[in-house]
């Protein structure tokens, strides 16, 4: 019976429904840049618990080595600055050399900066703006381009898939607040490259998806007083609390395991739309 638009397909007696093959985290090699703390740490922990071999790439060697040591077997730390091609390549090579090969890349590395475009103190610091864009946008692309190239050498699975690259933007890309011009621009760039990168890599069987988190309980907010943290959480429609890094990690795994998620930006924010300030 031919399928017609608007009509559900009813399988004939004995006909099997199509069940697409999903990439499995278990047995895969995963590169987590910015993986020593915050969202990256939670992702490294979840993927490792799910059976992946993880390479934790980060500037903070003390935290990265401690996390790899805690996770134990199937966890490796590689010191890497996302702006340094040779260092990122070394991390990619370490992941590609794993038994399952490099199948998953999650980029969580990033920095923030708060300054208005112009104020009584003068214009926005140009070097600071450039540095935020370099780390957040160019660093993300550096990881993406090198990880995707390594994934291209993988044997395709039954669905023709060779790998998944997950990037991290922010709702600031859409709702940038006063003083977030540099941060919002850098995260907006990640949003903008997602679809063309997915289209670039489609022929190689590599998916690209970006997560745009809202307010999460990360080291960036940990420095705030508890009262201020609770006030921020109360402004989120539902659930009225800060997001947990484990919830970011959960979505990252779901992206890996759902083959139709590609070229998309997913807001993870409890329906929050940031006010001007």
Q: List the catalytic residues.
A: 183
The sign of the CA dihedral 155, 27, 193, 78 is: negative
H/E stretch holding 41 reads helix 38-49
Helix (H, G, I), strand (E, B) or coil at 155: coil
CB atoms within 10 A of CB 96: 22
User: How far apart are the two ends of the chain, measured CA to CA in Å?
Assistant: 57
- Count Cα atoms within 13 angstroms, Cβ side, for 38: 22
CB atoms within 10 A of CB 219: 12
Return the HEC string of 196-230: HHHHHHHHHCEEEEEEEECCECCHHHHCCCHHHHH
Quote the distance between the C-alpha of residue 115 and its chain's center: 25
Closest C-alpha to 187, from 71, 109, 241, 91: 109
- As given in the structure block, the two tokens for residue 182 are 């540099």
| 147: DSSP letter | H
CA dihedral 9, 13, 15, 18 (to 10 degrees): 40
The pair phi, psi for residue 51, each rounded to 5°, is 105, 5
């Amino acid at each position: 019976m031919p399928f017609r638009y608007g009509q559900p397909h009813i399988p004939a007696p004995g006909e099997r429904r199509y069940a697409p093959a999903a990439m499995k985290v278990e047995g895969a090699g995963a590169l987590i840049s910015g993986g020593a703390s915050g969202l990256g740490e939670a992702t490294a922990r979840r993927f490792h618990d799910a059976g992946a071999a993880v390479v934790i790439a980060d500037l903070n060697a003390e935290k990265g080595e401690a996390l790899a040591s805690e996770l134990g077997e199937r966890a490796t730390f590689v010191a890497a600055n996302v702006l340094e091609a040779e260092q990122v390549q070394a991390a990619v090579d370490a992941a590609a050399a794993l038994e399952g090969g490099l199948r998953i890349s999650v980029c969580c590395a990033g920095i923030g900066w708060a300054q208005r475009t112009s104020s009584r103190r003068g214009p926005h610091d140009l070097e600071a703006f450039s540095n935020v864009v370099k780390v957040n946008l160019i660093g993300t692309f550096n990881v993406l381009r090198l990880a995707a190239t390594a994934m291209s050498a993988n044997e395709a699975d039954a669905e023709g898939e060779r790998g998944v690259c997950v990037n991290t933007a922010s709702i600031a890309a859409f709702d940038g607040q006063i003083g977030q011009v540099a941060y919002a621009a850098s995260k907006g760039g990640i949003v903008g490259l997602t679809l063309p990168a997915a289209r670039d890599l489609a022929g190689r069987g590599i998916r690209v998806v970006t997560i745009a988190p809202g307010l999460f309980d990360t080291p960036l907010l940990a420095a705030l007083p508890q009262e201020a943290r609770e006030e921020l959480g109360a402004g989120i429609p539902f659930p009225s609390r800060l997001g947990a890094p484990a919830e970011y990690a959960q979505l990252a795994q779901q992206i890996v395991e759902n083959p139709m998620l590609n070229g998309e930006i997913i807001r993870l924010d409890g329906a929050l739309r940031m006010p001007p300030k």
